[in-house]
Amino acid sequence: MKSHTFELMEQTRPIISLHDLKRTYIMGTQQVHALRSISLSISKNEYVALMGPSGSGKSTLMNLIGCLDTPTSGEYFLNNQLVSDMTDGELAAIRNKEIGFVFQTFNLLPRLSSLDNVALPLVYAGVKRSHRVEIAEQVLEQVGLADRMHHNPNELSGGQRQRVAIARALVNNPSIILADEPTGNLDTKTSLEIMEIFQKIHELGNTIILVTHEPDIALYAHREIRLRDGEVETDQINPNPEKFGASVGAS
């Protein structure tokens, strides 16, 4: 049985460690320094908002954290694994195992049901179909879509489609949920419903990195990292994050 001290260490250990991370793109004869030097750590079960104006480097940093790209130089440790030097195949395996993605545009396959969209990462993980269905049903229930499992995306509202995308992100029990502007295509009421789901996910122990340009959405995170010109401009704790009192419904 784990001791209380060990559990505290687990909660505070870095799940992400970036050391002097740089990313330079060659565009014709010019070099574009998207990230100049990023060094930061994110601990297990942190809830972080990543912000910055257009051209600040936040999309580049998101792609590096999500193992969708590799740095020009520097080191990136994810769960104590050095991923900055991995091959494309190794990065794909890490993405499927460690990171759950939620996108602004949902990225659901239109001809698949909610259940099959959510179960898709489990196909790549080699999970048997009967077990895939069972796990996908559980996470759809978790986000309040038990009655929409067999509906295709075009039969769902925007908020319901984002719930399916969140369920898909959760299905492999990843270390990190990486959400890129998850409320960008939603109205205010639906955005709040989605942020309530993220709060519940965080309360269950997940690490969440929320990429957003909306200050009111960033207020739900417990820490805000703001980028400018490829560098960390500010990194501060939010002492009073916004919270919801009621449990997540199935609206």
For each of the domains in the chain, give its residue range(s) and CATH number, in order of start.
Answer: 43-71+83-237 (3.40.50.300)
**What are residue 102's DSSP bridge partners?**
179
Residue 71: name the closest of 21, 37, 20 by CA. 21
Does pLDDT of 53 surpass 60? yes
Once rounded to an integer, what is the mean pLDDT over residues 5-27? 79
What per-residue confidence (pLDDT) applies to 96? 87
Query: What integer pLDDT is reported at residue 126 of this predicted model?
Result: 86
170: phi then psi, degrees, rounded to nearest 5: -85, -15
d(CA 251, CA 245): 16
pLDDT of residue 64 exceeding 70, the answer is yes
pLDDT value at residue 212 = 93
CB–CB of 187/157 below 8 Å? Answer: no
Mean pLDDT of the chain: 91
The amino acid occupying position 129 is R
Position 7 pLDDT exceeds 60: no
Question: Mean pLDDT: which of 81-90, 93-102, 110-119 is highest?
Answer: 110-119
Mean pLDDT, residues 165-172 taken together: 96
Task: State if pTM tops 0.85.
Answer: yes
* pLDDT for 82: 95
Q: What's the Cα-to-Cα distance from 211 to each of 5, 97, 141, rounded to whole Å? A: 32, 21, 25
Strand (E) or helix (H) holding 53: none
Q: Which residues, in sequence order, are CB contacts of 145 under 8 Å at separation 6+?
A: 114, 160, 163, 164, 167, 250
**CA–CA separation, 181 vs 214, rounded Å?**
9
Asked if residues 23 and 227 have their Cβ atoms less than 8 Å apart, the reply is: no
